[in-house]
C-alpha cells in the first residue's frame, strides 16, 4: 500500500475544532470517541478506490483523537476506522472493518453502494441474534467518503432579510422536486441548489409573494437499502447521516466539495431578493436504524454516546422517532454535535432559521418531554442560535410526545391543531366553530399563557407529509400503492372530503365544489392570525394522485408540475392576489393577541364574533353542535400596536363570514353609523370579482353554500 509518507509527516494537531479543518497549509483532523481503543484515518483519491494511506491517530485529548497533516488540501477524501470492544449487549459495536463517515464532515461525496459489508454483523445469518456476531467484511469500496473543504466564500456583503416572523409567509419546498421538471431551466442543473437560485425560479417565488422558503432536509442523507432494491429512494431526506454536509445529489457540479459552494450561492441569490432560507433539520435520529441497521458513522464511532439505548439491554435502541433509533441528547458530545451544526449553518451558510423534525424527541429528558430540557436550555442561552427563527414540529411517536402549545418562548410550532380544526370545519363536521375561532385568531388558548405571541403558531392546511390541497378535496382515502407497501403506510385519518367522487372527475359540479373548497382553505389560511405556511404546489393545485406518503417517490408523483392548465392559473392568481392584498394590512399580521385577553366578551373591541342576525355569539351558539357558520369582525381601528419604528399601527375594519352549510345563509351586516357601507373584497363562491371592492347595497349579505366572504368597511 502506498502511504505517500504521510505517517512520517504527521504532527500532533489539536482536539478542537472537531472535524477536518484546512488552514491553508494542511488539515487538522479531530474525532470524538469516548470508548474507542484506536482510531485510524484513511485517505482516498476517489470514492471507489482503496485507501492510499492509513494514519493512526496517537494523540488523545479530552476523549478526542486528533492529528495534523501538512500538505493535504481541499478535495481530499477520507474516512475513519475505529477500533474498540465488540460487545453489543453492552452497547459496544466497534468494527474496524466498517469505514466510517466523520460526523463533522462539511461535505460527503456520492451515495452508498449497498452491500452486506455496510453492516457490522453478518446480515445473511438466519439467526435472530446475528447482530451479536462481528463481520469481517470490509465496507470501504462501496462507502461514500468525507471531503476536506475550503470554507472561504465571497458573500459579497450578503444581508439577511430579517423578516419579522409575524410578517412571514413560509413556502415549504423540496430542492429537487421544485425544479426537476422546470421546462426552461437547463436540464443539467434541474433539481439542484443552482436551479433553485435561477432567476426564473426566484421570480416565481417573488410573484407568488412568499417571504421564506422552508427546504425539506438538505443535510446529507441515505437512501435506505430496501428502498434502493425496490427501485425507490428516500425522496424526502428524513434519513440524515451528515449534519454539516449539504446533500451531494442536489449539486450540479458533481465534483468533491462543490455542493457547499452551490448551496451558499443559492442562499446568497435568495437573500438578494429578500427571501429567507429555513432548513428542515433532522437531529432526532440518523440513517443507521435499529440494532439490525448499517454501521455508517455514529454507531461505529461510539454507539453508546450518540444513541439512546435500552438501559436493561443496550443491544437495543430507544425509538421515539419510528425510525429505529433516537439521538442521545443527554450526552454532552451529542448535544455539542447538534449545537455546532446549528451554529455552522447560521454563521457559515447564512441560513435564517430551522424547522426541527420531531422536536419533542430532542426535548426529552430521561423519558418525558420537558420544557427545561438540556437541548432547549442550551439553545436559549446561545447568542447565535437563539436569534434565528426556531420552529418545532411539536410531536414524536413516543408516549407523551404530542406537545403542541408546550414549547417555550422563542419557539414557534407547526400547529397541528390548526390543520385539523380547519379541515374538519370545511368538511362540514359538527361542533367546530368554538375551536375554529381560536385558530382563526392566533390560537391564544395554546400560546398566550406562556408568554408567546400569535407568530408562535405556524398555520398550515397541508405539508409534505399527507395529501396536497388538491387531493384533500379529491380523495377520502389514501392511495399509496406506488410505495409498494400494500397501501399500509401513511395516515388513514386525513379529515378529507372528496366532494362526492373519489379521485379525478368529469362532473362540472364536483369540480366546481372542489375548486371552491380549495379557495376556502387558502383564504382561511391567509386570513388567520399567525404565520401561514403553503406547501409546494398547493397554490396551483398540485396532485399526488391520492398518495399521502410520497417519501419514496422521486418522480413526477412528487415533483412540481410547471405545465399548468387554465384552472391551475386561476387558482394561482387567486392565491397570489390574496397574499398581495394582506401583505400591507397589519390587521392580518398582528404582533399581539387581541387586547391580550380572551377572544370573546363584552369588553373586547378589536375582534367580535357575529351571528347571522348581526348580534354577538352567545355561549349557546359556541357550544352548539349544529352551528356551521361564523362571523368574525376585525376592527383595525382599535389596534393597540406599534411598528418596528414605534409608530402606531392602525387598519381597516373587516367582516369575515365562513359557512360550511350546504345551503345559502343570510347575514345581517353591522352598522357603525348611518353612512357606513361595506364593500366586497373576497367571496370564494365568486372568485372572479375578488379584490375589486364592489359595494354592498343591502344591509344583508347572502353567503353561498360552503364559502368564505370578506367585506371591508368603506370610509365615510
Active-site residue numbers? 357, 393
Q: How far apart are CA 298 and CA 708, in angstroms?
A: 52
- Termini Cα distance of the chain: 89
Sequence-distant (6+) residues with CB within 8 A of 254 are none
- The answer to whether the beta carbons of residues 611 and 666 sit under 8 Å apart is no
- The answer to whether the beta carbons of residues 581 and 562 sit under 8 Å apart is no
Q: How far apart are CA 182 and CA 349, in angstroms?
A: 26
Helices 508-527 & 416-427 angle (0-180, nearest 10): 140
Q: How far apart are CA 180 and CA 680, in angstroms?
A: 40
Q: Which residue has the cell 344591509?
A: 699
C-alpha cell recorded at residue 558: 412528487
C-alpha cell recorded at residue 85: 470492544
C-alpha cell recorded at residue 612: 347571522
3-state secondary structure of 532: strand
DSSP 37-61: SEEEEEEESSSSSPPSEEEE--EEE
How many angstroms separate the Cα of 33 from the Cα of each of 37, 63, 83? 9, 6, 10
**Residue 232: left (phi > 0), alpha (psi -120 to 50), or beta?**
beta
H helices of 30-120, in order, are: none
How many angstroms separate the Cα of 296 from the Cα of each of 96, 230, 473, 555, 635? 12, 21, 42, 27, 58
Asked if the bond preceding 214 is cis, omega within 30° of 0, the reply is: no
DSSP designation for 88:
G
DSSP designation for 445:
H
Q: How far apart are CA 535 and CA 380, in angstroms?
A: 29
Q: How far apart are CA 312 and CA 321, in angstroms?
A: 20
Question: In residues, how long is the chain?
Answer: 716
- What proportions of the chain, in percent to the nearest 5, are helix, strand and coil? 25, 20, 55
DSSP designation for 100:
B
How many angstroms separate the Cα of 328 from the Cα of each of 132, 519, 546? 22, 44, 37
Sequence-distant (6+) residues with CB within 8 A of 444 are 438, 454, 593, 594, 598, 599
Sequence-distant (6+) residues with CB within 8 A of 456 are 411, 412, 413, 443, 446, 447, 530
Q: Where are the extended beta strands (E) located within 174-299?
A: 212-215, 219-221, 240-246, 276-281
Q: How far apart are CA 378 and CA 334, in angstroms?
A: 12
Q: How far apart are CA 463 and CA 580, in angstroms?
A: 22
Beta bridge partners of 65: 31, 60
- The answer to whether the beta carbons of residues 252 and 192 sit under 8 Å apart is yes
Q: How far apart are CA 138 and CA 141, in angstroms?
A: 8
Q: How far apart are CA 481 and CA 498, in angstroms?
A: 19
Helices 508-527 & 566-583 angle (0-180, nearest 10): 20
Amino acid at each position: 500500500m502506498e502511504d505517500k509518507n504521510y505517517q512520517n509527516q504527521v504532527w500532533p494537531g489539536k482536539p478542537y475544532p472537531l472535524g477536518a479543518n484546512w488552514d491553508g497549509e494542511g488539515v487538522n483532523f479531530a474525532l470524538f470517541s469516548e470508548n474507542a481503543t484506536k482510531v485510524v484515518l484513511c485517505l482516498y483519491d476517489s470514492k471507489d478506490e482503496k485507501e492510499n494511506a492509513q494514519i493512526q491517530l496517537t494523540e488523545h485529548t479530552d476523549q478526542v483523537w486528533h492529528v495534523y497533516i501538512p500538505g493535504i488540501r481541499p478535495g481530499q477524501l477520507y474516512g475513519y476506522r475505529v477500533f474498540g470492544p465488540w460487545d453489543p449487549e453492552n452497547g459496544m459495536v466497534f468494527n474496524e472493518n466498517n469505514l466510517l463517515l466523520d460526523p463533522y464532515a462539511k461535505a460527503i461525496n456520492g451515495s452508498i453502494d449497498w452491500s452486506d459489508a455496510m453492516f457490522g454483523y453478518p446480515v445473511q445469518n438466519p439467526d435472530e441474534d446475528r447482530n451479536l456476531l462481528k463481520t469481517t467484511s470490509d465496507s470501504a469500496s462501496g462507502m461514500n467518503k468525507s471531503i476536506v473543504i475550503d470554507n472561504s466564500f465571497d458573500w459579497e456583503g450578503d444581508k439577511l432579510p430579517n423578516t419579522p416572523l409575524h410578517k412571514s409567509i413560509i413556502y415549504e419546498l423540496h430542492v429537487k422536486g421544485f425544479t426537476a421538471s422546470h421546462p426552461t431551466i437547463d436540464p443539467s442543473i434541474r433539481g439542484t441548489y443552482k436551479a433553485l437560485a435561477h432567476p426564473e425560479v426566484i421570480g416565481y417565488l417573488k410573484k407568488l409573494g412568499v417571504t421564506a422558503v422552508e427546504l425539506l432536509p438538505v443535510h446529507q442523507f441515505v437512501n435506505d437499502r430496501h428502498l434502493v432494491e425496490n427501485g425507490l429512494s428516500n425522496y424526502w431526506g428524513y434519513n440524515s447521516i451528515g449534519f454539516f454536509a449539504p446533500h451531494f445529489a442536489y449539486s450540479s457540479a458533481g465534483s468533491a466539495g462543490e455542493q457547499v459552494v452551490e448551496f451558499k450561492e443559492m442562499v446568497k441569490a435568495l437573500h438578494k431578493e429578500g427571501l429567507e432560507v429555513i432548513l428542515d433539520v433532522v437531529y432526532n435520529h440518523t440513517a443507521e436504524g435499529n440494532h439490525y441497521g448499517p454501521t455508517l458513522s455514529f454507531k461505529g464511532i461510539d454507539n453508546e454516546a450518540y444513541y439512546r439505548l435500552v438501559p436493561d439491554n443496550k443491544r437495543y435502541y430507544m425509538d421515539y422517532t419510528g425510525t429505529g433509533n433516537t439521538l442521545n441528547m443527554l450526552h454532552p458530545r451529542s448535544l455539542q454535535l447538534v449545537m455546532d451544526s446549528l451554529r455552522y449553518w447560521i454563521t457559515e451558510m447564512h441560513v435564517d432559521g430551522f424547522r426541527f423534525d420531531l422536536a419533542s424527541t430532542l426535548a426529552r429528558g430521561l423519558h418525558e418531554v420537558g420544557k427545561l430540557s438540556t437541548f432547549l436550555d442550551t439553545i436559549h442561552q446561545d447568542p447565535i442560535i437563539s436569534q434565528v427563527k426556531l420552529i418545532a414540529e411539536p410531536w414524536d411517536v413516543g408516549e407523551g410526545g404530542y406537545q403542541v402549545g408546550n414549547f417555550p418562548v422563542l419557539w414557534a410550532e407547526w400547529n397541528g391543531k390548526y390543520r385539523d380544526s380547519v379541515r374538519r370545519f370545511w368538511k362540514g363536521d359538527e361542533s367546530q366553530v368554538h375551536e375554529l375561532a381560536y385558530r382563526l385568531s392566533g390560537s391564544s388558548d395554546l400560546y398566550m399563557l406562556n408568554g408567546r405571541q400569535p407568530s408562535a403558531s405556524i398555520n398550515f392546511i397541508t405539508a409534505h407529509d399527507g395529501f396536497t390541497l388538491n387531493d384533500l378535496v379529491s380523495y377520502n382515502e389514501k392511495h399509496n400503492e406506488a410505495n409498494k407497501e400494500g397501501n399500509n403506510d401513511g395516515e388513514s385519518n386525513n379529515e378529507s372530503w372528496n366532494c362526492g367522487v373519489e379521485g379525478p372527475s368529469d362532473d362540472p359540479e364536483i369540480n366546481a365544489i372542489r375548486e371552491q373548497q380549495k379557495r376556502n382553505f387558502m383564504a382561511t389560511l391567509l386570513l388567520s392570525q399567525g404565520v401561514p405556511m403553503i406547501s409546494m404546489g398547493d397554490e396551483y393545485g398540485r396532485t399526488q394522485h391520492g398518495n399521502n406518503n410520497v417519501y419514496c417517490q422521486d418522480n413526477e408523483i412528487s415533483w412540481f408540475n410547471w405545465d399548468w392548465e387554465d384552472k391551475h392559473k386561476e387558482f394561482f392568481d387567486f392565491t397570489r392576489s390574496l397574499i398581495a392584498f394582506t401583505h400591507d394590512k397589519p390587521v392580518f399580521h398582528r404582533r399581539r393577541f387581541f387586547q391580550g385577553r380572551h377572544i370573546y366578551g363584552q369588553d373586547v373591541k378589536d375582534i367580535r364574533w357575529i351571528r347571522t342576525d348581526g348580534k354577538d355569539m352567545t355561549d349557546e351558539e359556541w357550544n352548539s353542535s349544529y352551528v356551521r357558520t361564523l362571523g368574525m369582525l376585525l376592527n383595525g381601528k382599535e389596534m393597540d400596536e406599534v411598528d418596528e419604528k414605534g409608530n402606531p399601527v392602525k387598519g381597516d375594519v373587516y367582516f369575515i363570514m365562513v359557512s360550511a352549510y350546504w345551503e345559502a345563509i343570510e347575514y345581517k351586516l353591522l352598522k357603525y353609523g348611518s353612512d357606513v357601507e361595506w364593500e366586497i373584497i373576497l367571496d370564494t363562491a365568486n372568485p372572479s370579482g375578488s379584490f375589486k371592492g364592489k359595494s354592498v347595497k343591502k344591509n344583508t349579505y347572502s353567503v353561498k353554500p360552503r364559502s368564505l366572504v370578506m367585506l371591508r368597511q368603506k370610509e365615510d
